[in-house]
Amino acid sequence: MIKSEQAGLYIHVPFCLSKCAYCSFYSIAAPNLIPEFIKALLREMAFWKSSCLPLKGFDTIYLGGGTPSLLSGGQIHDLLNAVHSAFAIAPQAEITMEVNPGDVSPEYLRNLRTWGVNRLNIGVQSFDDGILKFLGRRHSAREAVCVSDAARAAGFDNIGLDLIYGVSGQDVRLWIQTLERALSFVPEHLSCYQLSLEAQTPLFGRYRSEGLSLPAESEALDFFFATSHRLAEAGYRHYEVSNFARGNSFRSRHNMKYWRHIPYLGLGPSAHSFCAGRRWWNTADVAAYIQNLSEGKTPVWQSEELSAEQLALEALFLGLRTQDGIDLEQYQALHGVDLLTAKKQTLGQLVENGLVEIRDGRLSPTLSGLAVADSLALI
Amino acid sequence: MENIRNFSIIAHIDHGKSTLADRLIQYTGVCNERNFQDQLLDNMDIERERGITIKSNAISLPYRAQNGQTYTLNLIDTPGHVDFSYEVSRSLASCEGVLLLIDAAQGVQAQTLANLYLAMEHNLEIIPIINKIDLPSADIDRVLEEIDSELGLDPDTHIKASAKEGTGIEEILEAIVERIPPPKGSGDNPLAALIFDAKYDAYRGTIIHCRVFEGCVKAGDIIRFMYNNATYKVEEVGHFLLQRAKREKLSAGEVGYIIAGVKTVSDVRTGDTITHQDRPCPGPLPGFKEVKPVVFASIYPIASDDYQDLADSLEKYKLNDASFIYEKDSSAALGQGFRCGFLGLLHLDIVQERLEREYDLSIILSVPSVRYRFTLKDGRVLYVDNPTHYPDPAEIDKGEEPYIRASMMLPERYLGSVMKLCMEKRGVNSNMNYTGPGRVELSYEMPLAEVIFDFYDRFKSVTQGYGSFDYDIIDYRESNLVLMDILVNGEKVDALSQIVHRERARARALNACDRLKDEIPRQMYKIAIQGAIGSEIIARSTISAFRKDVTAKCYGGDITRKRKLLEKQKEGKKRMKMIGSVSIPQSAFLAVLKSDND
């Protein structure tokens, strides 16, 4: 428990060769800026190292994006070395990197492994070329297969695949086919996201102009249940709304920090950090990020001080996204609310309707409850 | 006194009363272009928006007539809705004549008639004015015919006008001078002044609006209200221009105001007579009556923290509305609140809207009720206007409810549907009379409770706006009454309980269940809505649960945005009332009052 209370370090690599149609994360297609960006990242590490921020030791590192696999092996190496010299990284730290099928060679993967990356998250999204094209992915289903195999061959024993379901034209049966292909690699971890349309993404515009629609509530629920049931059968634990692990030890230790309100430091443009009731985030503009740091200025763009009420609400909606749910005693100690007493009638109704369980001092959502986790947080 | 004329404008709603008043004010130059705004006498936003006058108002217009003499024309504006007919009658009692305004396209309507009868009761000189002659649909010949046949007035006495375009205004002013008699009375007699309205002023207390019939009143006088013998020392008297204009005295025949340190308007009764303490008049002026509320409903704050705010706001509101009454009330479902009495549904609407708008309160209103009369087996008689106080059914010997006589005017082609509506509303003893070719005057005796439910909206809809409606309360009649409750997920919501006629209970309950089903948002579990009489369920509906709402991704960069979204939803939920484990929006409480046929 003490170990998991250590903070997480996130590094955002905001570059993509092309933008996927559904993606609203910040990235730009200007790989020429990468060397300057890496310099700025090193400066940011130095900035935080010399700050009075109490985050100096981490037991998870997550390289996300964007497309971190656009960085060369040497650049990743430099970056990880810099992290280790700037901060105290726990010996058993989980070091995850997101990779994009099609970008990475077997050699690249072997190097990552050598430099300490011990968990790969592969952005497969689908094993159906039609759907990959629809989503605007650069890779093919075949490339997704290749990279998955190559990752194993490179010695990775903790691999996660990202998949998307609920794409226009895809019914539950087609989706389960993709899921079966994914299972054939026996990944340690799976993230299965229902497609959502973020405003200002090309896909959002396309759905609107072509009159497409996301699955209706009952179909979305079919997807959700079918995924959960199939993966349970295959031995995966549905530990968060969209995340599945082949056993507790393969849960994403880094991502769990977000859901458990454990501090994290985010480096790079648009990265968010959270510590001691404060959340702050860096400028999302790569050029401004580079310039600020080169001038010795802070990369932080905005921050918020969370009120006790806001912290309590966050703890509730984040905790209820996970199968573990909320430790009631801890919640009361941290937020001063005895949920069992304060929400007695509503909780009774929710238990009766099979949406939550109260057991061993925890309030946790059932599978049906996970499907309405946002509303559960409004009790 | 020879140069004073006191008059009022009476009209059916929307026939152009406020616009005509504006033109008269502009023509006589009381108001320059700079501070002119439409519907000058309608001071409240609600009055302007709804196009109806709620409070009486008065203004003195200086007018130099063609005969070379200067006159003071006192225009007393009257409320334009059946809820306020007593106020109208007091305003008319302060006049010697009226302008009877008739829309050139719509012709004579129910309130035209009702107002005419009122004017005749007060022996007022009546000047018929055909307004809106500029409308393409104006049919002046038909209106002239109606003035003759339906109003029994000499059509030759009419004036054609378009208040909107300003035509006929001088002719109207001349007619006021020539045809309306000057007031009678003597400034030497003991003081007798009729109160026709009162308004609250934060600095001066109550501003009494009155018409002096006999004697005169000035600052320093000790006056007495004949209704309760309360005495006050006069601080100021004056006339109404656009603002109050202080005068040395008010004499017989004049219309104006008195400020006398009266704290609230509730200390003043519209229709009461003011006289001098040491030289009283022989008796009060005729026609005084205490207005009693006929519709009752409870008001609750949505957030129970707002109770004190609501209490303060009601107290402030009451300062300016003597006909509104309230007392503490509490509901098992909705907590602490107030039971309030209103003159009618419009009055209720207005109070609700002003509380929300001017005092920024979010409130829930219980289902309005009339005042029922129950005779118990032990002979006791109970008046019940709150379903919460419904007596034990085993002890009731007889239930009675108030009846009204509804007077309607409508084109003959709607007769069938209106009669059907009236029968549905338990109307009896109908009377019908052709007032002109294709036009019918129809009257029914109906339970007031049916009228307050949704009659007026439906009447308007079945007559496509061509029908007009007015009513008087007549008496109490025996009725087979039951208490109908609404249960949400098994929990009784007492604010939705209604006392209804047994035969209407099922339909009313079904309607309520359906309305609530539409208004209560789906929640994480199924919600049953039931209508019941005692333990017998007579209607039900079900709101299905929503089953998926969670967003797929929530990582470090998503949390703030997600929280803000949830905070917003939580804020929205605060505007709902938790009944058991179900959040019920404010709109659901209002929706129960509406019928399917809207």
User: pTM surpassing 0.80?
Assistant: no
In terms of domains, do B122 and B200 share one?
no
Write the CA distances from B193 to B4, B88, B244, B267, integer angstroms: 16, 17, 18, 16
Scan residues 320-349 of A and list those with Cβ closer than 8 Å to B.
Answer: 321, 345-346, 348-349
> In residues, how long is chain A?
379
In terms of domains, do B460 and B517 share one?
no
Record: contact B525-A376, CB cut-off 8 A? no
Closest alpha carbon to B426 in B500, B334, B489? B500
Start-to-end CA distance of chain B, whole Å, equals 53
Domain edge (last residue) among B179, B211, B241: B179
| List of chain A residues whose C-beta atoms are within 8 Å of the C-beta of residue B581 | 345-346, 348-349
For A376, name the nearest residue in chain B, comparing CA atoms only.
Answer: B524
What is the bridge-based pairing of β-strands A237-240 and B4-11? unpaired
Q: What is the pLDDT of residue B32?
A: 56
What is the bridge-based pairing of β-strands B481-488 and B498-501? antiparallel
Distance CA A216, CA B548 (A): 10
Residue B287 within a domain: no
Cα angle for residues B396, B401, B406 (degrees, 5° grid):
165
Q: Does residue A377 belong to the interface with chain B, where contact is any CB pair within 8 Å?
A: yes
Peptide bond into A66 cis (omega under 30): yes
Chain B: closest CA distance from residue A197 (Å): 11
Q: Residue A374 is nearest to which of B525, B551, B557, comparing CB atoms?
A: B551
Record: contact B556-A274, CB cut-off 8 A? yes
Q: What is the pLDDT of residues A212-245, one digit of tens each?
A: 999 999 999 999 999 999 999 999 999 999 999 9
Interface test with A, best of B524, B527, B562, B583 (most A CBs within 10 A): B524
Scan residues 238-297 of A and list those with Cβ closer than 8 Å to B.
Answer: 241-242, 255, 258-259, 264, 266, 270-274, 279, 281
SS3 per-residue string spanning chain A? CCHHHCEEEEEEECECCCCCCCCCCCCECCHHHHHHHHHHHHHHHHHHHHCCCCCCEEEEEEEEECCHHHCCHHHHHHHHHHHHHHCEEEEEEEEEEEECCCCCCHHHHHHHHHCCCCEEEEEEECCCHHHHHHHCCCCCHHHHHHHHHHHHHCCCCCEEEEEEECCCCCCHHHHHHHHHHHHCCCCCEEEEEECCCCCCCHHHHHHHHCCCCCCCHHHHHHHHHHHHHHHHHCCCEEEECCEEECCHHHCCHHHHHHHCCCCEEEECCCCEEEECCEEEEECCCHHHHHHHHHCCCCCEEEEEECCHHHHHHHHHHHHCCECCCEEHHHHHHHHCCCHHHHCHHHHHHHHHCCCEEEECCEEEECHHHHHCHHHHCCC
CATH of the domain at B433: 3.30.70.240
Q: Which of A189-198, B46-55, B201-210, B577-586 has the highest mean pLDDT?
A: A189-198
Q: What is the pLDDT of residue B161?
A: 94
In terms of domains, do B209 and B224 share one?
yes
What is the tally of structural domains in chain B? 5
In terms of domains, do B355 and B376 share one?
no
Record: contact B525-A353, CB cut-off 8 A? yes
Closest alpha carbon to B277 in B228, B221, B236? B221
Record: contact A220-B573, CB cut-off 8 A? no
Distance CA B99, CA B127 (A): 5
Within 10 Å of residue B423's Cβ, how many Cβ atoms? 13
Record: contact A350-B560, CB cut-off 8 A? no
Within 10 Å of residue A185's Cβ, how many Cβ atoms? 18
B522 alpha-carbon distance from chain centroid: 36
Q: Give percent above pLDDT 90 in chain B.
A: 55
pLDDT over 50 (residue B197): yes
For A345, name the nearest residue in chain B, comparing CA atoms only.
Answer: B581
Which one has a higher pLDDT value, B596 or A184?
A184
| List of chain B residues whose C-beta atoms are within 8 Å of the C-beta of residue A377 | 566
Q: Residue A313 is nearest to which of B548, B553, B566, comparing CB atoms?
A: B566
B36 alpha-carbon distance from chain centroid: 26
Distance CA B465, CA B457 (A): 10
Residue B535 within a domain: yes
Record: contact B563-A220, CB cut-off 8 A? no
Domain edge (last residue) among B336, B365, B394: B365
| List of chain A residues whose C-beta atoms are within 8 Å of the C-beta of residue B549 | 371-375
Is the distance from CB of B331 to CB of B282 less than 8 angstroms? no
In terms of domains, do B357 and B394 share one?
no
Within 10 Å of residue A143's Cβ, how many Cβ atoms? 18
Distance CA B62, CA B143 (A): 31
Q: What is the pLDDT of residue B41?
A: 56
Q: Which residue type does B342 have?
A: F
Distance CA B436, CA B419 (A): 19
Q: What is the pLDDT of residues B521-536, one digit of tens each?
A: 999 999 999 999 999 9
Distance CA B127, CA B528 (A): 60
pLDDT over 50 (residue B185): yes
Distance CA A266, CA A302 (A): 13
Chain A: closest CA distance from residue B137 (Å): 46
Q: What is the pLDDT of residues A179-192, one digit of tens each?
A: 999 999 999 999 99
* Cα dihedral: B183, B189, B194, B198 (round 10): 110
Q: What is the pLDDT of residue B333?
A: 82
Cα angle for residues A292, A294, A300 (degrees, 5° grid):
30
In terms of domains, do B474 and B578 share one?
no
Distance CA A190, CA B201 (A): 71
Q: What is the pLDDT of residue B11?
A: 87
| Residue boundaries of the structural domains of chain A | 3-259, 308-376
Residue A173 CB contacts under 8 Å (≥ 6 apart), including other chains: none
CATH of the domain at B331: 3.30.70.870
H-helix segments, B531-594: 559-574, 586-591
* CATH class given for the domain over A308-376: mainly alpha
In terms of domains, do B128 and B49 share one?
yes
Scan residues 138-197 of A and list those with Cβ closer than 8 Å to B.
Answer: 193-196
Q: Give percent above pLDDT 70 in chain B.
A: 94
Chain A: closest CA distance from residue B219 (Å): 60
Distance CA B80, CA B11 (A): 8
Record: contact A349-B569, CB cut-off 8 A? no
Closest alpha carbon to A147 in A69, A66, A234, A246? A69
In terms of domains, do B514 and B569 share one?
yes
Label residue B598 by pLDDT band (50, 70, 90): very low
Within 10 Å of residue B241's Cβ, how many Cβ atoms? 14
Strand A326-327: give its sheet, edge to edge: A326-327, A362-365, A356-359
In terms of domains, do B416 and B536 share one?
no
Distance CA A362, CA A283 (A): 38
Domain A3-259, CATH: 3.80.30.20
Distance CA B147, CA B445 (A): 27
Within 10 Å of residue A8's Cβ, how many Cβ atoms? 29
Q: What is the pLDDT of residue B79?
A: 73
Q: A–B: how many Cβ contacts below 8 A?
A: 108
In terms of domains, do B36 and B137 share one?
yes
Q: Which helix (H) or strand (E) holds B38?
A: none
Record: contact B546-A270, CB cut-off 8 A? no
Closest alpha carbon to A284 in A48, A56, A25, A55? A25
Interface test with B, best of A272, A306, A351 (most B CBs within 10 A): A272
Record: contact B547-A371, CB cut-off 8 A? yes
Within 10 Å of residue B434's Cβ, how many Cβ atoms? 12
Q: What is the pLDDT of residues A295-328, one digit of tens each?
A: 999 999 999 999 999 999 999 999 999 999 999 9
Residue B290 within a domain: no
Within 10 Å of residue A341's Cβ, how many Cβ atoms? 9
In terms of domains, do B18 and B166 share one?
yes
Residues of chain A with pLDDT under 70: 1-5
What is the bridge-based pairing of β-strands A159-165 and A189-194? parallel
Structural domain harbouring B257: 192-276
- Of A232-236, B420-424, B470-474, B535-539, least confident by mean pLDDT is B470-474
For B583, name the nearest residue in chain A, comparing CA atoms only.
Answer: A379
Is the distance from CB of A251 to CB of A259 less than 8 angstroms? no
Chain A: closest CA distance from residue B310 (Å): 26
| List of chain A residues whose C-beta atoms are within 8 Å of the C-beta of residue B566 | 313, 317, 374, 377-378
Q: What is the pLDDT of residues B273-322, one digit of tens each?
A: 999 999 999 999 988 887 888 899 999 998 888 899 999 999 888 877 87
Start-to-end CA distance of chain A, whole Å, equals 28
Q: What is the pLDDT of residue A124?
A: 95
| List of chain A residues whose C-beta atoms are within 8 Å of the C-beta of residue B561 | none
Chain A: closest CA distance from residue B489 (Å): 10
Domain edge (last residue) among B463, B479, B495: B479
Residue B552 burial class via C-beta count within 10 angstroms: exposed 0-12, middle 13-18, buried 19 and up: middle
Is the distance from CB of B302 to CB of B364 less than 8 angstroms? yes
CATH of the domain at B488: 3.30.70.2570
Interface test with A, best of B525, B550, B562, B569 (most A CBs within 10 A): B550
Within 10 Å of residue A16's Cβ, how many Cβ atoms? 21
| List of chain B residues whose C-beta atoms are within 8 Å of the C-beta of residue A314 | 559, 563
Residue B354 within a domain: yes
Token pair recorded at residue B574:
């605060």
In terms of domains, do B390 and B493 share one?
no
Average pLDDT over residues B233-262: 93
